[in-house]
Amino acid sequence: MVGGVTIEERIREEALFGRLPLLKEEREYSTRGIISTGFTYAVAAWCFLIGGYSANVVGAVQGIVTLVCGCTIGVIMSAAASALACNRYGLEQIDYTKSCYGQRGARLILLFYIINQIGWTGMILVMFGKGVTNVAAGLGYDGGENLVRLCVLAGLVVGYWVINKGVHVLNVFNSIVFPGLLIVTGFLYWAIFKSADWATICAQPPIDPQDPGLNYILSFEYGLGAGFSWWPGIGFLTRNTDTQRNSLYPQVLTMGFGMGVVCCTGLLAGLVFRSYDPTVWMIQVGGPLFGVLSLLLVAIANVSASAMMMYTAALALRHIGALRALPWGKLTLLGFIPVLAYVIMPSRLYDGGSAFLAYNATMFAPISAVLLVDYFLLRRGRINVSQVFEDAPEGHYWFWHGFNLPALFCAFFGMGLYIWLLNPVTYAAHGPVRFLTASGPATVLPMLLYAILAYLFLVGKSGGYRDTLDALPLRKSNL
C-alpha cells in the first residue's frame, strides 16, 4: 500500500486512465453511456467560437450545411480506424498508432496530438478571459488585455489544481457544465429566433468574407477541422466502450452531427449580432442578466474543458521514455508551459483561432488517412497487441529504427499538400482547392500513395503485416 492506495487500485487507475489495455469486463460505456458522454464532450464552449468563424465567411444556409457535414465527415474519418482498433484491443490512441507509424514514429504523431490539446486549451482560456473582461466592462470596469491575461493565468492555475486532484474532480465539473451548456444552447436558439425570423437570418451577409470563391470552402474546412479535432480524444473514449458499434456510431452522432448542430448556434448568432466572438454576442443575445449568466457558465465550461485536455496531454507525455518516470505533478506542469504563450499574447493568438481550426484538418486528415489504409487494407483489422508494447528492434512495429518511413512520408506529404492547396494562416489558395477542398486531396492521395508504398516496401518484409497475431514474450517493455 502506498499513501493509502493499494497496488491493485493503482493498477486499476493505470488501466482506466493510463496505458494498460482495458479488459472487456472493465468497459464502462454501453450505448446510453457513450451517447451521454459523447454529448458531454460535443456540447462544448468552443462550438460557439467555431460557428462564429463560419459566420465570418458564409451565410446561414451554407454555414449550416458546411458545419454539420464537415463535423460529421471529420469525425467519421478520424474515428473509423482508431475507434474500432482501440475498442477491440482496449488500447490508448497513441499506443494504437505505433502499429502504423512505428514505436518512435508514433512520438512524432504525439507532437501533433499535444499541439492540438495545447492550442484548444489556450483558445478556450482566452475565451474565458474575454468573457470575464466583457462582463466587467458591462459593470463599468475596463480591464483590457491585462485582465484577459490574468484570467488565462488563473484558468491555468485552476486547471493544474483540478488535474492534480484527480479525474474525479473533472467528473464533478462536467456534471454541472453539460446540462448548463445544453440549456444555454437551447436558450440561445430561442433568443436568436426571437430577434430575427428565418428569412432575415438567411438574408444576413457574412461578417468578414475573404476571396469570393474560397469562402464556402473555408467554412467547410472549419467544419472538417472541428471534426478532425476529436482525433486525439477518440481512443480515450472508445477503448472504454463495450462493442464495435458503440465505439463508432455514437461518436458520429454526438461529436460529429451533434457538435455541428451546436456550432450552428454560433453561426446564426454571429450573423444576426454581427460578431464572430461569442463573448461579445452572448451579452447582446441574452441581455445583461442572461447574457452574463451564460458567459459565466461558458467560463466554467472552458476551465473544465481545458483541465480535461491538459489531463490527456499529460497522459500522452508518458509515451516519452525520459518523461515516464516524472512525478504526475511535474509532468502536468510541463504540459502547461507552452500554454503560457496565451498569457503573453492572448488576443493575437485568439484572433488567429480560425487558422488553428483549419490546421487541425491539416494535421489529422492525412494521419487518419494513412491509419485507415494500414488498419483496414494492410492489416485486415487485426494487430498484435503484445508488439505494441515491444520496444526491442526485433518487435513487429519497429520498422526502420522505430519509424515506419512510408507511413510518415505519406502523412507529411498530405500535410504539405494541404498547406499548398490552402494555407490556413494566409488563406493563399492553389490548384483545384475551389472544387476539391484541401482536406479531400490531402486525405485521398496519401491513402493511395501509402497503399502502393506499403505493398512495395513493407508487406512481407517489415512491420509484421503477415506475422503471427498471437501474443509474444516481451523483450523490452515500453510501459
Partner 1 sequence: MSDELFEQALQVELVKRIDAVSSYTEEDFGRISGMEWMVFLLLGLLIPCVAVWWAA
Q: Which is nearer to partner 1, 140 or 327 (CB)?
A: 327
Interface residue with partner 1 among 4, 140, 426, 470 (CB under 8 A) is: 470
Give the shortest CB-420-to-partner 1 separation in angstroms.
Answer: 22
Q: Grid cell 489556450 — which residue?
A: 122
Helices (H), 58-214: 60-89, 93-101, 105-138, 144-165, 167-195, 198-203
- Residues 242-271: x where in contact with partner 1 by CB under 8 A, - otherwise, as a string: xxxx-xxx--x-------------------
Q: Which residues contact 157 (CB under 8 A, 6 or more apart)?
A: none
Residues in the interface with partner 1 (CB under 8 A) total 47
Q: Is 385 in the site for partner 1 (CB under 8 A)?
A: yes
Interface residue with partner 1 among 57, 68, 367, 370 (CB under 8 A) is: 68
Q: Which is nearer to partner 1, 87 or 302 (CB)?
A: 87
What is the chain's alpha carbon radius of gyration, rounded to the nearest angstrom? Answer: 22
Ordered DSSP codes for 226-288 = HHHTTHHHHHHHHTTBSSHHHHHHHHIIIIIIIHHHHHHHHHHHHHHHT-S-HHHHHHHHHHH
Give the shortest CB-479-to-partner 1 separation in angstroms.
Answer: 5
Q: Is 69 in the site for partner 1 (CB under 8 A)?
A: yes
CA 337 to CA 335: how far, in whole Å?
Answer: 6
Closest listed residue to residue 115, CA positions, set 389, 371, 415: 415
Q: Which is nearer to partner 1, 157 or 320 (CB)?
A: 320
Of the chain, the end-to-end C-alpha distance in Å amounts to: 21
Q: Which is nearer to partner 1, 278 or 446 (CB)?
A: 446
Mark the segment that binds partner 1 (CB under 8 A) among 72-80, 138-146, 162-170, 364-372. 72-80
CA 204 to CA 182: how far, in whole Å?
Answer: 26
Q: Is 444 in the site for partner 1 (CB under 8 A)?
A: no
Give the shortest CB-388-to-partner 1 separation in angstroms.
Answer: 9
Interface residue with partner 1 among 78, 82, 87, 360 (CB under 8 A) is: 87
Give the shortest CB-74-to-partner 1 separation in angstroms.
Answer: 10
Let me know the angle formed at the C-alpha of 255 by 74 and 304, rounded to the nearest 5 degrees: 120
Q: Which residues contact 128 (CB under 8 A, 6 or more apart)?
A: 151, 152, 155, 298, 299, 302, 303
Give the shortest CB-368-to-partner 1 separation in angstroms.
Answer: 13
Closest listed residue to residue 177, CA positions, set 296, 286, 287: 296
Ordered DSSP codes for 375-407 = IIIISTT---HHHHTB-STTSGGGTBTTB-HHH
Answer whether 367's CB lies under 8 Å from 109's CB.
yes
CA 180 to CA 168: how far, in whole Å?
Answer: 19
CA 101 to CA 81: how far, in whole Å?
Answer: 14
Residue ranges in 7-66 that form contacts with partner 1 under rule CB under 8 A: 7, 10-11, 14-15, 20-21, 23-24, 61-62, 65-66
Q: Which is nearer to partner 1, 305 or 383 (CB)?
A: 383
Interface residue with partner 1 among 41, 48, 89, 113 (CB under 8 A) is: 89
Mark the segment that binds partner 1 (CB under 8 A) among 190-198, 274-282, 382-390, 458-466. 382-390
Give the shortest CB-127-to-partner 1 separation in angstroms.
Answer: 28
Binding site for partner 1 (CB under 8 A): 1-2, 7, 10-11, 14-15, 20-21, 23-24, 61-62, 65-66, 68-70, 72-73, 76, 84, 87-90, 216, 220, 242-245, 247-249, 252, 381, 384-386, 389, 469-471, 474, 477, 479
